Amino acid sequence: MFDQLAQPLVYAESLLTRFSTLAASSNSRALQQQLVAAAADLSHCPLAQLYLLDKTQTELTLCAEWLDGEPLVRGESALPSDYKDQQLLQYCLFQNQVLHVNALDSSLYATPFLPETDRSWRSLLCLPLHDRDNHLGGLLLIAQRDAEELDAYADSLRLLGDFAMCQLQLLQRLDAEPAIAPMSEESKISHERGYGLIGESPVMQRVYRLISKVLHNPVSVMVAGETGTGKELVARAIHDYGLRRTQPFIAQNCSALPEALLESELFGYTKGAFTGATQDRLGLFDAANNGTLFLDEIGDMPLSLQAKLLRVLQEGELRPLGSNQTHKVDVRIIAASHHDLRTLVDKGQFREDLFYRLGHFPIEMPPLRERGNDIQLLATRFAEEACHFLQRDPCRWSEEALEHLAGYHFPGNVRELKGLIARALLLCDGNVLLPEHFSLPDSAQPLASRSLRERLEQVERNLLLDCLRKNQGNQTIAASELGLPRRTLLYRMQRLKINAADLRHKEKAYVQSR
């Protein structure tokens, strides 16, 4: 550890002294300052920084900084969970590896996290820090104004930093003030937008907020929602913006294969396990090792396979078909279903223990009809992508066409919208999309031809029908969900001419869309 240092014994003695100082600290904030001071002193660097992840690992905060022999106090500097524009910090966190740059050039490496001084920074060393459970907890960074080989300090400073992380875990239980300030509501919204998804409606903001909570946590996620709402996109967002982003992402639709084929596809098999098994074959769990496996339509998985999946989730080990040996795998499971799994559990069609195991963190994707102006955002984006694919000039939207789409119910959700736009572009001979290019049902009349009262009544009617359909026509439960007395609900149903036939038609259309 000390072979590359000029005076290894002197360094070792100083390092032990720093360990003793950190062990004697009784305050988490003081401990953080002592750590950066020790890192700067031991490495003879003018700068040392300590970054910590919050408990949900969705925000990285600069907690302590030491510059030119004294603590540097700056305003709160918190980075969101994707660490955008902080490539060096991002690399060290996502790869969980030591980063050493001995020829730091501002034209090649963006370093907005380093303080501005009279002389530019030329070299840095960034170390990932771990707690007693070996979970990634933060970064320790040192920087020099001259081009120097700082990697000689990597092993010793990492030991010191990991020790400090363990001490922080103990002290933070006693500290009245947490070491990392809670994320404000504004900062939450600022980093929750995106993740590769499109939408600015309040219901999508809630989805982004939930995604941000599980990006860097290994918990299983259950994505629910109607068909065509974009459940796989949520799974890909969690993978692409999380710590496993450099590892495989594999998707499998559980309803696409019969039971025997699905079992061999997921768990693999050995030579001779069945007729035609002429060689060993790895399954999708092995292929997704250290990455993410997305199991779509998990509600259609046979019960026998559900038991085998539960074993993998609980023990992290699997046994291929035809083998007597088990082996460990590290796979994050993200499942999705358009079914109500709780109902399937009550019917005995889905294992209750698997339901609770998968449902640690549910994310509900809203139907398109509840996303308001997102319909127009999605429509314009899909039109741009389709024009690019068809290699034609971009098409403009008429106001009537956008209003025409906004008044439609979209039982097939985003998938149906994308298909409608692709067809409309093929029908559009000019350069402007018009209502006649969209073959919507007759009930979806252009909003421009309706009065304000008619538009409001249509929105109210759709809302009541959706709520009644979701509750299988139970008017008492629907009234409770809508916050209305039952008599008021009956009055509005009568005024809007909603009857049992409408509910049956609505339910039939809903089932067919799935």
Asked if residue 442 has pLDDT above 70, the reply is: no
User: Binning pLDDT at 50, 70 and 90, where does residue 409 land?
Assistant: confident
Last residue of a domain, one of 424, 449, 474: 449
pLDDT cut 90: percent of the chain above it: 25
Q: Is 129 helix (H, G, I), strand (E, B) or coil?
A: strand
- Kindly state whether residue 298 falls inside one of the protein's structural domains: yes
Last residue of a domain, one of 348, 364, 380: 364
Among 58-67, 134-143, 328-337, where is mean pLDDT lowest?
A: 58-67
The domain total for the chain is 4
432 lies in the same domain as 460: no
276 lies in the same domain as 320: yes
- Kindly state whether residue 292 falls inside one of the protein's structural domains: yes
389 lies in the same domain as 500: no
pLDDT cut 70: percent of the chain above it: 86
- Kindly state whether residue 154 falls inside one of the protein's structural domains: yes
pLDDT of 506 reads: 46
31 lies in the same domain as 145: yes
Q: Which of 84-98, 249-263, 463-477 has the highest mean pLDDT?
A: 249-263
Q: In one letter, which amino acid is 404? A: H
Contact 36, 49 (CB under 8 A): yes
476 lies in the same domain as 392: no
CATH number of the CATH domain containing 490: 1.10.10
Task: Report in angstroms the alpha-carbon separations of 275 from 370, 400, 498.
Answer: 51, 61, 58
CATH number of the CATH domain containing 204: 3.40.50.300
27-49 confidence digits (pLDDT tens): 888 889 999 999 999 999 999 99
CATH number of the CATH domain containing 159: 3.30.450.40
Scan for tokens 């040996």, then name that residue: 325
Question: Torsions phi, psi of 446, nearest 5?
Answer: -55, 135
pLDDT of 507 reads: 47
Neighbours of 239 (CB within 10 A): 24
Last residue of a domain, one of 344, 364, 384: 364
pLDDT of 510 reads: 43
Which whole number is the average pLDDT over 462-468? 81
The closest alpha carbon to 362, from 216, 213, 243, belongs to 213
pLDDT of 232 reads: 93
339-389 confidence digits (pLDDT tens): 889 899 999 999 999 998 888 899 999 999 888 888 888 999 999 998 888
pLDDT of 175 reads: 53
DSSP string over 194-243: -TT----SHHHHHHHHHHHHHTT----EEEE-STTS-HHHHHHHHHHTST
User: Binning pLDDT at 50, 70 and 90, where does residue 481 land?
Assistant: confident
User: Binning pLDDT at 50, 70 and 90, where does residue 502 land?
Assistant: low
For 131, half-sphere exposure in the C-beta direction (CA atoms, 13 angstrom radius) is 15
Among 5-14, 114-123, 428-437, 492-501, where is mean pLDDT lowest?
A: 492-501
CATH number of the CATH domain containing 387: 1.10.8.60
Which whole number is the average pLDDT over 488-496? 84
160 lies in the same domain as 247: no
DSSP 367: P
32 lies in the same domain as 159: yes
438 lies in the same domain as 457: no
Q: Is 13 helix (H, G, I), strand (E, B) or coil?
A: helix
- Kindly state whether residue 17 falls inside one of the protein's structural domains: yes
**When comparing pLDDT for 184 and 73, which is higher?**
73
How high does pLDDT run on average in the chain?
82
Q: In one letter, which amino acid is 471? A: N
149 lies in the same domain as 30: yes
Domain that holds residue 250: 193-364
Burial per residue of 489-507, b for 16 or more beta-carbon CB atoms within 10 angstroms, e otherwise = beebbeebebeeebbeebb
- Kindly state whether residue 2 falls inside one of the protein's structural domains: no
Q: How far apart are CA 26 and CA 24, in angstroms?
A: 6
User: Binning pLDDT at 50, 70 and 90, where does residue 293 land?
Assistant: very high
- Kindly state whether residue 479 falls inside one of the protein's structural domains: yes
Q: In one letter, which amino acid is 507? A: E
The closest alpha carbon to 221, from 83, 93, 313, belongs to 313
- Kindly state whether residue 162 falls inside one of the protein's structural domains: yes
pLDDT of 417 reads: 92
218 lies in the same domain as 340: yes
- Kindly state whether residue 408 falls inside one of the protein's structural domains: yes
Asked if residue 511 has pLDDT above 60, the reply is: no
233-253 confidence digits (pLDDT tens): 999 999 988 888 889 999 999
Token code pair at residue 62: 């600069």
403 lies in the same domain as 286: no
Scan for tokens 């398109």, then name that residue: 368
349 lies in the same domain as 424: no
Q: Is 152 helix (H, G, I), strand (E, B) or coil?
A: helix
pLDDT of 83 reads: 55
Asked if residue 332 has pLDDT above 80, the reply is: yes
Alpha carbon 438 to its chain centroid, in Å, reads 34
Token code pair at residue 166: 């363990």
Asked if residue 411 has pLDDT above 90, the reply is: no
Distant-in-sequence, close-in-space partners of 391: CB < 8 Å, separation ≥ 6: none
